[in-house]
Structure 1
Amino acid sequence: MKPTYILLILALYFIVLMVISLITSDKEEDNENFFKAKRQSPWFVVAFGMIGASLSGVTFISVPGWVEASQFSYMQVVLGYLLGYVIIGTILLPLYYRLNLTSIYTYLEQRFGKYSYKTGASFFILSRVVGSSFRLFLVANVLQTLAFDAMGIPYWLTVTITIILIWLYTFKSGIKTVVWTDTLQTLFMLIALGVTVVTLYNEMNITQGIVAYISDSSLSKTFFFDDINSVDYFWKQFLSGAFIAVVMTGLDQDMMQKNLSCRTLKDSQKNMFWFTIILTVVNLAFMCLGVLLTLYARQHGIDAHKDELFPILAKNYLGPIVFLSFIIGLIAAAYSSADSALTSLTTSFSVDILEIDKKHPTQDQVRIRKRVHILFSLLLIFVIISFKYLIKDESVIAKLFVFTGYTYGPLLGMYSFGLFTSLMTKDKLIPYIAVCSPVLAYFISLYTNRWFGFDFGFFVLILNGTLTFLGLLIFSDFKSGKKYESVLPGRK
């Protein structure tokens, strides 16, 4: 496929998103629409759209490429997600709806105080900026290789145009538009997945059923109980998956903002239930795709591995239909995570850091929010371009989850302490605890691996959260007798 055709596909895709933006936008631009869609989003639309935002380009490319080295070990993490989503649906969502939150980090102010509130929001902003940049970096690299290098378009311009397009269709109605565009983008990703699997099945002349074929492969080994020191050890992966789900969905303004746009708590919980089922099946399907891609490459002597596996096979070996669906799915993956990330970053910085609803008159709030939206667009461009020179070899998904362990760990510790204890702690010390915990977790992880051969892997998230929890406990006010009245269901 000629690079000009890829550019045409991108242009047509963008036009479709702009049409959706125009249809979903109100004439009056207000922050209630941008932040919460006035809580009018249908739960089933949110549930389906969240699949694309959760998967993104990382799953679309990295998960299939990961199978060759790690087999189905990632499925242990996905199974852990199930437990994490139960916690979100039964504990966190009722809390957020009961407090009628726009930003979920407002809870930290009510629970601990101003310093905790600002710390939680700041860690989210850091996490989301870097995490979203990881995802977009991966997709931008592939598009650059497939099309824009041949057209003489530099990498920095590819990234800049991508972010500008996202800004254009989200700047007016924010989350209200994102809920609907994510639904379309999820559909395109799943179509690309299905087309590729069917094509590979036919190309490889598989005589038995596809399930039996994949099950018989050594690449489909899922459970690893042999070596507790291994990063693939089941309980490490499972528990890490549960906590990753809690922090990357339940404690993440990006994902929760969509849930909070549903009409009622019951609708939001239905959304979470169906989202959990679909996400598990889709992740399994992407790992099955990874088996087929890897075996196809081996059969034909193709030297393609990790994040290059899917793009190279789609472009050069599997025909124009697969390549077309791959390009559309890749573009969908890029936009489905980036648009909601840009919206949530704008929301969190406006509400949590600038406190525009408290410190600025109503007539100025929309203007300030628009400036913040532009600011984060420019920041994402800068960070993604810088990654071009910082990331060299590993699969992006591995780097993403390791980074998550360090940045979301303090949020995990703060929320756990706030929800499951009634103790008061020294609010002014929380920023220092939140910074020290990831640093201490890093050195513990480094030296336990060096001295004992124990690799924390994704499990560093739990270590980090535990250190934050212990820090809050050490500086708790035991003498005054002050207690916090729980807002959890059934607790006083």
Structure 2
Amino acid sequence: MISTVDILIIIIYLIAMLGIGYFVGKNNRTQEDFFLAGRSMPWIPIALSVSATMISANSFIGGPGWAYNEGIAPFMVNITVPLAVFFALSVTTPVIYRVRVTSVYEYMEYRLGHISRNLTVAQFFINSLIQVSSMVFIPSLILQKLTGMPLKVVVPIVVIISISYTIMGGIKAVIWTDVVQMIVLWGSLFAVIFLGLKHINMGFFETIGMAREAGKLKALDFQFDISKTNTFWASLIGGTIMWIRYFCFDQVQVQRVLTAKSLKGIKSSFLTSAFLMNIMYFIMLTVGLILWVYFGGRKFQTSNEIMITYMLEKLPIGVLGLAISGALAAAMSSVDSLLNSLTTVFIKDIYEKYFKKDKGETTLKLTMSIAAVFGVIIILFVIVGFGGTVKSVLDVVGKYISYFSGPACGSFLLAMFTLKANDKGVAVGFILGTIGCFLIANVYKVSWLWNPAIGCALTCILGYIASMLFKNSCKPINDIKEYTVNGMREKMIKEGTIEEDGISILPFKIDKYAIITLVFFFLQYIFLALLQF
């Protein structure tokens, strides 16, 4: 059973989150304050927040479980994160930043029209509800095992706390609580590593050596087997599209970086987060290798139970409380971000567009009510969708959202890089791309990591062809050209608007931020190759 000291640590952590939410949000006055922090956030907390959102409780618990069974190979799923960030830094973010939208899906209507906007909004809701639900599942599972309470009691507790401080402080609360949660998460990880090595009475390199002898450090698999997830080709092709959709066209990440004071701040935060995210994920997988040595490769009913079992059985008083707080931190850092973004998109893309009669800002009271409704939906998703999973939660979630990632990415690419794409054509491409991706994946037993690339390719090809058939519905070229990457670049050069705070703000400009990110991307492959020998 959990001790009084551990309970006290967890309670202090939860109270601190609520306190931060209240403190940073008490000066919110406008909708822009609540959704974008008045575009005034420093880049360092943004970088930590971006990293914290991606490294959820699924990674904290599911990552070690995945590595326990498959070694370091699951790192390949994340290896193209820096490549996607490179694309965001040098191409898409300058475009979104200049348009100055609150919801990234507003861009789709400016460039294409309301049908494409609505479809990309719909996929965001589907993806986000699946993701946020899975992020609540892990800490709820831990608390369920500790207290014996059923999920239908534990889940509402976790969600309500996350909702509370998110509502009180808006995006500022999301970012600043994420900073604290990252610190707690790092502390928890290193505590588990230190104690794990102590319990097996071996040094770090000796432990890793045992994992190498068992083939656990083999990550670079160059087989072109579409049924496998962690291969070089699946990660490079499918993974790149998946992460481009996430970092370039997903409201959760775009909204975060748009809170920065300038594009320079955005680039600094993106660059830093690219390093932090993958380094932390690699450390989480390393924990799985240590636990594999500790448990002697023993079989578990589910991979999600491996980390949880070690925490509950072996962590001493105080450290267990820290580790549970780390799992809660990982969960809440993702839940708060998704809740805030879900509320933002609903208000900007649905309520204010279709239901609000006047043009004034939506009230905070209504915002709170919408967040509460999403909280109820999340609770239902967790209890119904994840209660019986025996796979790593990371693997399950990846499969669910992969059908929509590619079509969403393809729709944005058509909007940004072509002049002929139009609203009806892209909508047809999105729908056919989603259906085609689902059929191909299930008929040919394709790994979920290939799905984003398949869906994106189908959407781009079919959407472009369909746009030719609906060419009479195109907006005038003069109205849409400035929303394409090339058109915006030409206009900015003509106006002389090419720099801000000493850095280029032009699309297609590869600066030091992009170069460093690209170098880090290639260094990862070298590091993984060296690990195998």
TM-score by length of 1: 0.91
**Contact 2:49 2:179 survives alignment (8 Å):** yes
Measure, in 2, the Cα distance between the counterparts of 1:121 and 1:146: 38
Partner of 1:242: 240
Measure, in 2, the Cα distance between the counterparts of 1:364 and 1:188: 35
**Contact 2:427 2:463 survives alignment (8 Å):** no
Residues 356 and 396 of structure 1: CA distance in aligned 2, closer, same or farther (over 3 Å): same
In the TM superposition, what is the alpha-carbon distance from 1:448 to its structure 2 partner?
2.0
Partner of 1:460: 451
**Structure 1 unaligned residues grouped into runs of 5+:** 450-454
Partner of 1:178: 174
Using the TM superposition, name which of 304-313 and 180-189 deviates more: 304-313
In the TM superposition, what is the alpha-carbon distance from 1:96 to its structure 2 partner?
1.2
Partner of 2:44: 44
- Is 1:345 matched up with 2:342? yes
**Contact 1:78 1:238 survives alignment (8 Å):** no
**Contact 2:130 2:401 survives alignment (8 Å):** no
Q: Deviation string for 1:194-237 (max 9, x for gaps)?
A: 11111122222224636863555521111111353441321112
Letter in 2 for 1:163: V
Residues 9 and 108 of structure 1: CA distance in aligned 2, closer, same or farther (over 3 Å): same
CA RMSD of aligned residues (A): 2.4
Partner of 2:466: 475
In the TM superposition, what is the alpha-carbon distance from 1:3 to its structure 2 partner?
6.4
- Is 1:94 matched up with 2:116? no
Measure, in 2, the Cα distance between the counterparts of 1:378 and 1:456: 32
Q: Deviation string for 1:270-324 (max 9, x for gaps)?
A: 100011011121111111111001111117x575751110110121134335423
Residues 235 and 23 of structure 1: CA distance in aligned 2, closer, same or farther (over 3 Å): same
**Contact 1:84 1:241 survives alignment (8 Å):** no
Measure, in 2, the Cα distance between the counterparts of 1:363 and 1:100: 17
In the TM superposition, what is the alpha-carbon distance from 1:340 to its structure 2 partner?
0.9
Give the paired residue count.
480
Partner of 2:32: 32
Residues 26 and 321 of structure 1: CA distance in aligned 2, closer, same or farther (over 3 Å): closer
Residues 51-130 of structure 1 correspond to what in structure 2 (within 5 A)?
51-130=51-130
Using the TM superposition, name which of 237-246 and 115-124 deviates more: 237-246
Residues 359 and 113 of structure 1: CA distance in aligned 2, closer, same or farther (over 3 Å): farther
Partner of 1:452: none
In the TM superposition, what is the alpha-carbon distance from 1:362 to its structure 2 partner?
2.5
**Contact 2:22 2:168 survives alignment (8 Å):** no
Measure, in 2, the Cα distance between the counterparts of 1:368 and 1:212: 53
**Contact 2:31 2:361 survives alignment (8 Å):** no
Q: Deviation string for 1:299-353 (max 9, x for gaps)?
A: 7x57575111011012113433542332111111121111111110000000011
Measure, in 1, the Cα distance between the counterparts of 2:303 and 2:309: 11
Partner of 1:439: 435
Residues 371-390 of structure 1 correspond to what in structure 2 (within 5 A)?
371-389=369-387
Residues 100-249 of structure 1 correspond to what in structure 2 (within 5 A)?
100-147=100-147, 149=148, 153-207=149-203, 209=205, 213=209, 215-231=212-228, 232-249=230-247
Residues 211 and 99 of structure 1: CA distance in aligned 2, closer, same or farther (over 3 Å): farther
In the TM superposition, what is the alpha-carbon distance from 1:375 to its structure 2 partner?
1.8
Measure, in 1, the Cα distance between the counterparts of 2:204 and 2:35: 50
Letter in 2 for 1:118: N
**Contact 1:197 1:292 survives alignment (8 Å):** yes
Measure, in 1, the Cα distance between the counterparts of 2:173 and 2:15: 14
Measure, in 1, the Cα distance between the counterparts of 2:490 and 2:193: 49
Using the TM superposition, name which of 278-287 and 322-331 deviates more: 322-331
Q: Secondary structure of the equivalent of 2:104?
A: coil
**Contact 1:124 1:408 survives alignment (8 Å):** no
In the TM superposition, what is the alpha-carbon distance from 1:22 to its structure 2 partner?
2.2
Q: Secondary structure of the equivalent of 1:320?
A: coil
One of 262, 265, 270 as aligned partner of 1:264:
262
Letter in 2 for 1:176: K
**Contact 1:129 1:380 survives alignment (8 Å):** yes
Measure, in 1, the Cα distance between the counterparts of 2:432 and 2:379: 29
**Contact 2:242 2:452 survives alignment (8 Å):** yes
Measure, in 1, the Cα distance between the counterparts of 2:9 and 2:198: 26
In the TM superposition, what is the alpha-carbon distance from 1:167 to its structure 2 partner?
1.7
Q: Secondary structure of the equivalent of 1:94?
A: helix
Residues 156 and 432 of structure 1: CA distance in aligned 2, closer, same or farther (over 3 Å): farther
Residues 322 and 298 of structure 1: CA distance in aligned 2, closer, same or farther (over 3 Å): farther
Q: Secondary structure of the equivalent of 1:435?
A: helix
TM-score by length of 2: 0.84
Residues 28 and 51 of structure 1: CA distance in aligned 2, closer, same or farther (over 3 Å): closer
In the TM superposition, what is the alpha-carbon distance from 1:19 to its structure 2 partner?
1.5
In the TM superposition, what is the alpha-carbon distance from 1:257 to its structure 2 partner?
1.1
